[in-house]
Amino acid sequence: MSSLTRADAQLRAQTIAVTAYQVELDLTRGDQSDHPTFGSRSAVSFTATPGASTFLDLRAREVHSIDLNGTPIDPATVTDGRVTLTDLAPQNTVVVEATMAYSNDGQGLHRALDPADGLAYVYGHLFLDAAPTVFACFDQPDLKAPYSLTVTAPPEWTVLGNGAAVHTGDGRWELATTKPLATYFVTVCAGPYASVTDEHDGIPLGIHARASLAEHLREQAPEMLQVTRDAFDYYHQLFGIRYPFGSYHQVFVPEFNAGAMENPGCVTFRDAMIHRGAATDDERLGRANTICHEMAHMWFGDLVTMQWWDDLWLNESFAEYMAHRTLSAVTGSDDAWVDATVSRKAWGYAAERAPSTHPVAGSPAPDADTALQNFDGISYAKGAAVLRQLIAHLGDDAFVAGVTAYLSDHAYGNAALADFLGAMEAASGRSLTGWAEGWLTTAGLDTIAAEQADDSVRLTRTRPPGSAADRPHTLDVAGWSDGAQVLALPAVLTSDEATLPVAGSEPAALLIPNAGDLTWATVQLSAESLAALPAELAQVSEAQHRAVVWVALTDGLAHASVDPRLVVDTFAATWPGEDHPSILSRTGFLLTARVLGEYLADRHVPAARTAVAGAARARLDSAEPGSSQALGAARVLAATADPELLRRWADGEELPQGLAGDADFRWLVLRSLAVAGEVTVPELESAREADNSVQGNLGALTARAALPDEASKAWAWEQLVGDGRSNHERNALAGGFWLGRHADLLRQYVARFHRDVPALESRVGQDALARVATIAYPRTVVEEATVAATDERLAAGDLSPAVGRALIDQQSVLREVLASRKAFA
């Protein structure tokens, strides 16, 4: 199907205005076949330029009838997902009746079976251009309209959607007419969901999940509802604009591609966020952050929607920033900002290093498929950091006033970059033309470094090669020696160099530019600071400063300026005393997945693995039993310990407190045993039967794909690229396939990846395909031949935007690893 172009969207928006949708969905038929279907009837009312023509979007399994203003249109004329509508009247109604196909790739109306009880669940994920697979529509973000939905479902099901749902009997549900919505925000969630309901400030609240998760849902709902209540209060107080979409449901759905989706009144989440085993504090913080992020979208994206996808930052950057701000405000803790540093900003810096980097705002988006690729660390993490710089530039009062005016002026409509900047300039009385050019409409990031002399600190800003962007940075510099902070210097860097006086201060052993993580820049630690890390970092009491150092090390690995062995030494020296859950979690992943998994040469891995396992054992032994720190340490041990210990843990013996019977932890252990070839297929199948659940199925697929033998790899590859697997199952297989140092075994699959994964395009939507192509890329075959194979495949010029972007970016990461190995051989 052709992707909607911006030019076509602009022309259509000049021709018509949509006034109402009436959609009827019948979910009671066609669900017993190998290719289940549902019934769809849509009546779309719109005004138009008299006599003009336009097109309606429709991607159906079978079209039964199309009627425009009482005149039938031959269903056979539907071409490439479009229905041509001609000779339009000033007032029009087009009615379409069709049979639609459920999806199994997380897009459109997705249907999943829970193996725990055999029950089926349905949810709508119409982002980014999947709405026409559910109902006929004018599918673009600036043609917003009210929706009235009616859903017929099996009688034992619950139905939820954007409007409050009322069961009128015989499985029929009527949903209240919504405020004007963009097509990609419409959703229906239906199935035998378990529910916990509440009310706050006049807003009905609901939290829902699969029936097999009912007990865990009831246990965890009070915490999630408290976050929801606090966030509502904060947003209402901050903007003075009440939540505008009636009831507020949060539905945890199976096999969801993203973390969550901000459907007004009915937010959908990945149901792995309902923890069925032990969860660390940073996992609970991450869930709270996601709740606050999606709620922020009710204003940023839902109330005011971008005109076109090149301004998606008006949705995502604001939701990203507001989530961290809200959690910090309601908890009185900086943990949300520390987590943002080590998780979100590290992700964003990786996106900025990639060949596909792009500006925060105004990135070219000639069509919807291209725009989809820009939902990345630039639009989220960098955009949020840029907003922090804007606040530093204008002041928080001006920022809040400008945002409030922007939301009020464009409520229930659409806006673009110029609208936001105009509101900010009016609120602050300052021009933002130069500031926006440097921070919003130009890609790239500066490098910030600091060196200390006897009586000053020299702070430098290095721009990317060839860049003329002049970005002012509001930041700080911290200095530490033997556990004491000896420097705390605020700075505004408006040129390439600044000298900060520090008369009377002793030299710092560890000098950290941007220690408070206020700006967006690569932090380059001096050679002296790098050398001091193993001795000094553990004594730094400020978690935010430690987080900035770890991100600087991550960037240094990617730039081949930091020896991965230094990262191992720093981890071994600091991790036994680290207490911040987010730092523990992210650095544990950095060491186990990236340093041990990719960066280190094979000969350095055994000693490094021993060092990492030793640090994890020390942290486990010193942690309070059952604490978040203990769980984080146990997970790193599960990835690095010797097979004898892992075998005992897999058998339920000698487990750390709180992990007995934890099926998710057992799958981590079994995966490590699989990578080492220390478990058999029958043993994995027995474990799957003992954990007959969605998570158990995925854990078994990952572990079996990780087995280092020819037969297991052949089976896993066929499952990955063949028919019948869902989006999450493909991701689970891809996540296990390349694990371990098995290049000789896996080398033959490099060519097969470049042939077979792009071919999935005919069966898998672009959103899901982008994820599987990223996860399945053969990064652990760290050879120039892998790079060359990707070059050859890219040169063919026939890849979809999703696969092309994934290959380009993953090849770039592989090049970083190759450069590091060469630099520190």
3-class state of residue 721 by DSSP: helix
Q: Other C-beta atoms within 10 Å of 768: how many?
A: 25
User: What is the spatial distance between Cα 87 and Cα 98, in angstroms, rounded to a whole number?
Assistant: 23
Q: Other C-beta atoms within 10 Å of 482: how many?
A: 10
Helices vs. strands in the chain: H and E counts, helices first? 28, 28
List Cβ<8 Å contacts ≥24 apart for 719-727. 720/756, 720/772, 720/776, 721/756, 721/757, 721/759, 721/760, 723/763, 725/104, 726/104, 726/105, 726/106, 726/112, 726/255, 727/104, 727/105, 727/106, 727/255, 727/257, 727/764, 727/768, 727/771, 727/772
Give the residues across from 41 on adjacent strands: 24, 97
Among residues 97, 283, 294, 320, the one annotated as catalytic is 294
* CA of residue 285 relative to chain centroid, distance: 15
Q: Which two tokens stand for residue 451?
A: 């060196």
Q: Amino acid identity, residue 410?
A: H
User: What is the spatial distance between Cα 399 and Cα 428, in angstroms, rounded to a whole number?
Assistant: 8
N- to C-terminal Cα distance for the chain? Answer: 48
User: What is the spatial distance between Cα 553 and Cα 634, in angstroms, rounded to a whole number?
Assistant: 24
Please identify which residue in the block is written with the tokens 């969605």. Answer: 694
- Greatest extent of the chain over all pairs of C-alpha atoms, in Å: 87
Residue 294 falls in the annotated catalytic set: yes
For the chain, the C-alpha Rg in angstroms (whole number) is 27
* CA of residue 674 relative to chain centroid, distance: 28
CB 786 within 8 A of CB 751: no
Please identify which residue in the block is written with the tokens 């009827």. Answer: 24
For residue 301, what is the DSSP state? T
Q: Which two tokens stand for residue 404?
A: 């409030």
Catalytic annotation, residues: 294
